[in-house]
Amino acid sequence: MNETVLPILYSFRRCPYAMRARLALYVSAQTCIHREVVLRDKPEEMIKISPKATVPVLEISPGNILEQSLEIMLWALERNDPLNWLIPEVGTRDEMIALVEQCESEFKPHLDRYKYSNRYENTDPVTHRTGAEKFLQVLERRLIETACLFGTSPALADFAIAPFVRQFANTDRDWFDQLPCPSVQKWLSDFLESNVFLAVMGKYEPWKPGDPPIRSATAYS
Ligand SMILES: N[C@@H](CCC(=O)N[C@@H](CS)C(=O)NCC(=O)O)C(=O)O
């Protein structure tokens, strides 16, 4: 496909939101032009189309912009969902989205205050680590029943949530590894070893105007 008609993805390798967008774009075989962003020096081209200036941003075509990672996942998977990420074995798509929203509203604020406690006033990282653990217990209860959050195969919820649990685990790996949640630990390690995760973690130089377009990897490229 001609580069000029491919969607453009503004992404940052280690951002869990960008990661989940890349995972869905990859599995749906949606090739994009990849533009790696440095968060402290975001390109004007991205801010112009998305003034809220967070990654990921997907420019599907001029004026047709998706600025939320979950929207990007749904857009890609509604077009092509070869592994049935939107049709879980157990439960429904709406239940998966509700769990993803719970991750964002309950787990993520604690994760930020645990990992980046120096950015917040009067914040005790251990209090927030304990707060975040409650959501891990929610995941553990599900994962004791089945290997993945909504059945035996990973689906939307697994790929939308695992990048955040990865970030939490990496903040203090030794502490995470001794937590009494073996099913979450196994689920995370399966995710980290999966081909789809490894495929979207390629390293790119930061994009600048005039650079030759770089096509993202896709499951069938
Ligand atoms: N609700 C947004 C959140 C995206 C977000 O907050 N991304 C972070 C990076 S992980 C970001 O771009 N922050 C802006 C900054 O650090 O300047 C989404 O789901 O895409």
Look at residue 5 in the predicted model and tell me its pLDDT.
87
Residue with tokens 């890349």: 22
Does residue 172 register a pLDDT over 80? yes
Q: For residue 14, which atom of ligand 1 is closest to its CA?
A: 10
**Per-residue pLDDT at 82 exceeds 80:** yes
Check residues 218 and 141 and name the one with the higher pLDDT: 141
pLDDT value of position 139: 98
Q: What is the mean pLDDT of residues 133-140?
A: 98
pLDDT at 1 over 80: no
Q: What distance in angstroms lies between residue 94's CA and the mean position of ligand 1's atoms?
A: 23
- Which of the residue ranges 22-26, 46-50, 216-220 would you say has the lowest mean pLDDT? 216-220
What is the percent of the chain where pLDDT is above 90? 95
Confidence of residue 219 (pLDDT cuts 50, 70, 90): confident
If you take atom 10 of ligand 1, which residue's CA is the nearest one? 15
Query: pTM of the prediction?
Result: 0.97
3-state secondary structure the chain: CCHHHCCEEEECCCCHHHHHHHHHHHHCCCCCEEEECECCECCHHHHHHCCCCCCCEEEEECCEEECCHHHHHHHHHHHCCCCCCCCCCCCCHHHHHHHHHHHHHHHHHHHHHHHCHHHCCCCCHHHHHHHHHHHHHHHHHHHHHCCECCECCCCHHHHHHHHHHHHHHHHCHHHHHCCCCHHHHHHHHHHHHCHHHHHCCCCCCCCCCCCCCCECCCCCC
* CB of 69 closer than 6 angstroms to any ligand 1 atom: yes
What pLDDT does 45 receive?
98
Weakest mean pLDDT among 1-5, 87-91, 125-129, 182-186: 1-5
Average pLDDT of the segment spanning 20-31: 98
11, 52, 55: residue to mutate for ligand 1 pocket, most atoms within 8 A of CB: 55
Q: Where does the pLDDT of residue 221 fall: very low under 50, low under 70, confident under 90, or very high at 90 and above? A: low
Hunting for tokens 């251990």 — which residue is that? 126
The C-alpha atoms of residue 175 and residue 197 are separated, in whole angstroms, by 23
- Work out the pLDDT band at 138, boundaries 50, 70, 90: very high
Q: What is the mean pLDDT of the chain?
A: 96
Q: Verify whether ligand 1 is closer than 6 Å to residue 123 (CB atom).
A: no
Instruction: Tell me what the mean pLDDT of segment 48-69 comes to.
Output: 98
Query: ∠81-83-88 over CA atoms, to 5°?
Result: 95
Angle among Cα 185, 218, 33 to the nearest 5 degrees reads 115
